[in-house]
Chains A and B, each alone.
Chain A
Amino acid sequence: MTDMPQKPELSDIPDAVSEPKRRFSIQLVWIIPIIAALIGLSLAVKSFMDRGETITIIFKTGEGMEAGKTKIKYKDVQIGEVKGLAIASDRSHVVVTAELSKDARGLLVKDTRFWVVRARISGGNISGLSTLIGGSYIGVDAGTSTQKRDEFVGLEAPPAVSMDVPGRQFVLHADDVGSLDTSSPIFYRRMQVGQVISTEMDRDGKGVTIRAFIRAPFDQYVKANSVFWHASGVDLTLNASGVKINTESMVSILLGGIAFQTPQDQLEAPPARPNSVFPLFITRDDALKHVEAVEKYLLVFKESVRGLPVGAPVDLWGVTVGEVTKIDVTLDPAKSELSIPVEIQFYPERLRALSRNKSPQAKPPDSRELLDALVARGFRAEIKSGNLLTGQLFVALEFFPRAKPAKIDWSTNPPRFPSVPGSMGELQKKLMQIVQKFEKMPLEELAGDARKTVQSLDSTLKSAEKLLKNVDGTVIPEARSVLSEARQSLGEVRKTLGAAQTTLGGANQVLSGDAPLQLDLRETLREVSRAAQSLRVLGDYLEQHPESLVRGKREDKQ
């Protein structure tokens, strides 16, 4: 339709300039999809490589956790994320599905631990405050095992010590846990060297087991015979030596703690093996007593032990070398005799201390030989009174050279140590003897004699009275006449005295103060006194200046 009318103008259309054809065998545009494919492939590979491990962790509750939001952090660095939360089929726990980055693959071993980090305030430390704002996250503590694993059971509380802290764990057994708790400090020479990891009840309910962690290098100070004790709070002891307050640190006062010590001579011993079991003592004193070797002996007494408590000291010349551990009563049916076996703990170390100090290398003498020798010389145990007021008794070890010969009976368990009746018993016996002697005295006869004596005394007194009456009748009239005569002579004496008095009055007039004789006399005496004074002055002067006798008095220089 349009072809024909335009045909004439077609000639006006210029010819295109021709040029030989160049062939492009390769279309460059295909580089674009190749690049796109490479990018897509690299993204795919990257995302495949980045795809971490998917693990499941079991928790009791899902508190604070949210799928897609809760992070998993190791040393506060994010290594993964919770992808899902599900309740277990038996509804007893929560199964958390989490995806960890591929760098964290090495963390997924058998003993890796997971726990939920929340804000916690316990005892002395406040942790996880950042989770108040940022939300809780799952903390990881890398394990050391090489066994791979992707199913874990989460901890309910953060572990006290992370795995990568070098050190060793020990197990402590105690009767009660005191004020200890997870993360209670452990002290060695009052320096904090570790902490309590866990406290749990023994399965039989008879005690508690405490797991303690001691950091390296302090863990090497724990030896096989180290002793651990509660350093909880303040240990206030009031005894005969006064008030004693024993604490480890302010922290332990508030939170409790454990302290341990190793005997001085054991410091070179090899360190205790990890997970060794130690008893945990109540107090330091209690613990230190147990450092020493303990030997048990049995003492048999045949007297009252009233006032001898368990724990009473065993004393050797004032030094405590042991303590009473058990008191029983036994009846010997054959002899129908009661006896009281007292079990004592004896610390032979304290006896050997002297010889050890002399030669530390020398082998300490065997306590058996030592004691045998001592007993042969009269070494015996006896019960002594420690306090007369309270009647407290203790066991004393003494030498009784005159005691009956005896030996330690090593055949029994514990060996029987010879004892002598205590001084209290002896005293009682002697008192009884005295009383018995008193009883033997013929008191009634004595009383009869006394009565007779009194009667004769009475009659004597009566005759004496008669005698006195006789005296009264005969002697007194005579005496009365003598007295009247004496009175007369006294009257005469009085007259004579009156005459003497008048004479003396005259003399008094002569000598009275304003008498002219006395005035003259006083003047004269004054003159004499002055003369004597000037004589003394002259004498003094002459003594100082004897030359004035020849040269005359010198003029005083101004």
Chain B
Amino acid sequence: MENSRFLVSSSPHIRSGETTQRIMLDVIIALMPALLAGVFYFGLNALTLTAVAVAFAVAAEAVMQKILGKPVTVNDLSAVVTGILIAFNVPVTLPLWMVAVGSIFAIAIAKQCFGGLGYNFINPALAARAMLLASWPVRMTGWVAPGADAVSTATPLAILKGGEAAGQALPGLLDMFIGNIGGCIGETSALALIIGGAYLLYRGVINIRIPVSYIGTVAVLTFLFGGFDSSAMFYHVLAGGLFLGAIFMATDYSTSPMTPKGQIIFGIGCGFLTSVIRFFGGYPEGVSYSILLMNLATPLIDKYTMPRKFGEVKKNA
């Protein structure tokens, strides 16, 4: 037993088993029910679109990191999450090359140009959605009804909003809950998204502050704006990707506040903007733009919601 060379480092000498990769894997697992629902309602094409989005996101990450001379970190799985979320935010009829462009934009521009994982100031998947919607507005709203025939349809919110979709029959609330409606691949089934969200809560990946304050605010405000009509409230809560946004996009670590109080403010802010856009703005939906806007406010929210430190005393002694 001679003195061999022992490692000397600063405490703590043990670390938890949690890793970035494990967290991202949990998010991927949590997104699977919604992917299955997407495939079930919109066909295998939903799976193809998702695979393409993921492949291009991962490739874009590796290429960008090579170009920037950084270590390639695609095995942290964060690009896979972004790829899935991009596919979830487009209609199933979108051409494959368009979703590929979205993936490249999300990773190369919105994420890597700002420093990579943890440094992006807006949600890369939502940035890609906004870019696609601005570039190909017709393609990005090419909704089809669930089923093999791919009959074109309108989303419930477009119907509620009026305009050219006015007059179409609104789907029933149960269909909206299970996802049997037109919309983006991953947004239609609130049920599947809630199952995924419950898994993330169980695993401690997210906490309930942002989803609950976001969805709660939308419920309250749409009830008020809709003239105290509870059925309108239910439509607004279940439609337009609110569950996808509230559970999976607004809770993105890099672009949402770290303080508990800040997370509640962030959720309320998202809910307020979503309701205002839907009732008073030009778009029928509004989840993605409200989250993007609140992303911009995140550093400020964090700054002004710093927790009261333990033992802080008023200077009056």
Decide whether A and B assemble into one complex: no
Question: Contact residues of A with B, CB < 8 Å?
Answer: none
Chain B positions within 8 Å of A, measured between CB atoms, are none
